[in-house]
Amino acid sequence: MRSRLLLGFCISMMAGAGLAETKPPLRDVREIDDSMMWVAIAHEISKECDEIDARTLRGLNYLNTLRNRARSLGYTNEEIRAYHKSDEERARMRRRGEAFVTARGLDPNRAEDLCMLGHTEIARDSMIGTFLRAK
């Protein structure tokens, strides 16, 4: 009986370890990664555009919702923190955001263009726009 319990425990541990290995990195979870990009773009607009403020509490609440969603998908606090704090991920997210802005015919390095994008997103009530407020 004891050996069967030990065998069952070992099998369940091995199965759990196998599941953890098949979990994709958070950067590959589109629902999380795209949402992080919307927040990052809104943050950048609010920093660079004097005409627009960030809705900080809304953004923080949304980030908390994303963290909870990642946890519900099986990611640990350490994995979430590593994704969020990684210099490599931040640089990749910046490139994604710049590509998003450029695809709309705007220059991500010009405050005027970021203001234009911000006002457009606010008017559209897009995800980006929900994190911004015109002054």
Domain housing 101: 25-134
108: helix, coil or strand? coil
Query: Considering the domain boundaries, does residue 125 fall inside one?
Result: yes
Number of neighbouring beta carbons within 10 Å of residue 98: 16
Query: Considering the domain boundaries, does residue 11 fall inside one?
Result: no
Query: Considering the domain boundaries, does residue 43 fall inside one?
Result: yes
Closest among 82, 106, 111, 101 to 40, alpha carbons compared: 101
pLDDT value at position 19?
47
Summarised one tens digit per residue, pLDDT across range 26-39 is: 999 999 999 999 99
Q: How far apart are the first and last CA of the chain?
A: 71
Query: Considering the domain boundaries, does residue 19 fall inside one?
Result: no
Based on the structure, what is the number of domains in the chain? 1
pLDDT value at position 12?
47
Query: Considering the domain boundaries, does residue 63 fall inside one?
Result: yes
pLDDT value at position 83?
95
d(CA 132, CA 74) in angstroms, rounded, equals 31
Query: For the chain, which ranges sit under pLDDT 50?
Result: 5-20
pLDDT value at position 39?
96
Query: Considering the domain boundaries, does residue 14 fall inside one?
Result: no
Spell out the alpha helix ranges (H) of the chain: 2-22, 30-48, 56-72, 77-85, 87-103, 111-124, 127-130
d(CA 57, CA 26) in angstroms, rounded, equals 24
Query: Considering the domain boundaries, does residue 16 fall inside one?
Result: no
pLDDT value at position 64?
96
Query: Considering the domain boundaries, does residue 87 fall inside one?
Result: yes
pLDDT value at position 21?
58
pLDDT value at position 22?
84
pLDDT value at position 4?
53
